[in-house]
Amino acid sequence: MRRWPRIMAGLGVALLAGTGLAAEAPSSGGPEANRVVARVNQVEITYGEFKSRLESFEKERGPIPREKWGDVLRGMIQEEVLLQGATADGLDKDAAVKVRLEQARRQVLIEELIRRKVMAQARVTDEEARKMYEDNQPLFSTESITTSHIMVKTQAEAEAILQELQAGKDFAELAKAKSQDTGSAEKGGNLGPLRRGQTVPEFEEQAFRLKEGELSPVIKTEYGYHILKGGPRATVVQPFDEVKDRIRQMVLQEKQRETFMALLAVLEKRAAPEIFEDRLR
């Protein structure tokens, strides 16, 4: 389902990207809503209209500092000037423009119907997200491998260590003696379980390729030169808190689809459309 178009900025106005701390804006309701803040050839722009436009901007871009409110108003003025120019040229009477205006009217009405009857009604509860997680554990599982490594500064050092390992030297002892990754060296080079995406690609590719107990060739990363030793593999289920936002989005999209299809079915039944495909020629 296509998202409804983003609210357009006032024509010709560039709002600065920096936001800073915005002063609290007064409500667009109340008696001040009818206060005239600009006039273009007797067409009045009210404070309520300005505030509505400001709130639309802020939904898209975040808070707008009070000192930039004038830019928003000037954009509305420019928009009105252009609109009046188009009307003065009779563009609202042009046949092709009328077709486009009708298309725009239809689109706005459809989008508003979907916003009110689909988007506003499709909600995801914490219980629904949790159930989705519990019922679909494989979707949120990832492979991990326990890997050990020895890291040194030069390829020559790494090649020499690899020869020692191939000759039968103990990996853990060499890691403690020679690895410059001090954090893992004291544990015999053991990095613990690694999941995909936790380390640099060239290291990850080699680590997940190794069988348990197998040595890698010397590999280079931005940190140095490594010899890896493969360890046991496991399947790890990601914690709910790590994936809950993705789950909520998945459930929300499905509920929106179901809500939309239900609405469409009701409206089609009410409208009783007739189709004459044989006339499509």
Identify the CA nearest to 34 among candidates 23, 22, 45: 45
pLDDT in tens, 135-146: 998 888 888 999
Question: Please, which pLDDT band fits residue 20 given cuts at 50, 70 and 90?
Answer: very low
Residue 215: strand, helix, or coil: strand
Judged against a pLDDT cut of 80, whether residue 8 lies above it is answered with no
Instruction: Tell me how far apart the alpha carbons of residues 73 and 61 are, in angstroms, rounded to a whole number.
Output: 16
Q: Tell me the average pLDDT across 162-181.
A: 95
CB of 8 closer than 8 Å to CB of 72? no
Residue 194: strand, helix, or coil: strand
With 0.75 as the threshold, say if the pTM is over it.
no
Judged against a pLDDT cut of 50, whether residue 11 lies above it is answered with no
Q: Tell me the average pLDDT across 51-67.
A: 93
Round to the nearest angstrom and report the end-to-end CA distance of the chain.
30
CB of 46 closer than 8 Å to CB of 35? yes
How many H-runs (helices) and E-runs (strands) does the chain carry?
9, 7
Give the number of residues written for the chain: 281
Provide the CATH topology of domain 26-93: Helicase, Ruva Protein; domain 3 (1.10.8)
pLDDT score at 18: 29
pLDDT in tens, 245-260: 999 999 999 999 999 9
Type of residue numbered 218: V
pLDDT score at 28: 53
Task: Convert 129-166 to b/e letters by CB count within 10 Å (16 or more is b).
Answer: beebbeeeeeebeeebbbbbbbbbeeeebbeebbebbe
Q: Tell me the average pLDDT across 171-180.
A: 95
Return the CATH number of the domain spanning residue range 141-237. 3.10.50.40
Q: At CA 176, angle to CA 218 and CA 208, rounded to 5?
A: 40
